[in-house]
Amino acid sequence: MIENYRTGFVNNYFMSHPKVIQAVRIQFPNVDSDNDGFSDNLELYLGTDPLDNCPDNINDPAWPPDFNNNQVVNIIDVLYFGDKINKKVADDPSLKRYDFNMDGTINIIDVLYMGPYMSKRCS
């Protein structure tokens, strides 16, 4: 009984504490909680939901390569890079969303991250 209580306490309270989640992320930078192919760390940087692998609607950024949140990655999403190439996150923080390699600049390297997901659909 006490054991159950303690386990529940640890799981529900302790593990849900933002500071603990942050510590776990720093400890395990490559953990991908929602299995969408992008680590929690990277999703926090991009601004997508690290605990959701697929957008529920067009206003729910959850899957990094799906920029228009329509649950499919295709040329339409790649076109989002069009006017952002060679721009810097330092000049416009909203560009973080496109900086897959987290180097502060949007360029072809970031576009290449889209490759494995082209024509893929999430659910």
CA 51 from centre of chain:
9
CA distance 122 to 68: 13
Nearer to Ca ion, 10 or 112 (CB): 112
Nearer to Ca ion, 97 or 110 (CB): 110
CA distances from residue 111 to 52, 54, 98 in whole angstroms, order as listed: 22, 20, 8
Nearest approach in angstroms of CB 115 to Ca ion is 15
Interface with Ca ion by CB under 5 A: which residues?
32, 34, 36, 38, 48, 62, 66, 68, 70, 77, 99, 101, 103, 110
Nearest approach in angstroms of CB 9 to Ca ion is 27
The CA-CA-CA angle for residues 37, 40, 41, to 5°, reads 115
Nearest approach in angstroms of CB 112 to Ca ion is 10
Nearer to Ca ion, 2 or 90 (CB): 90
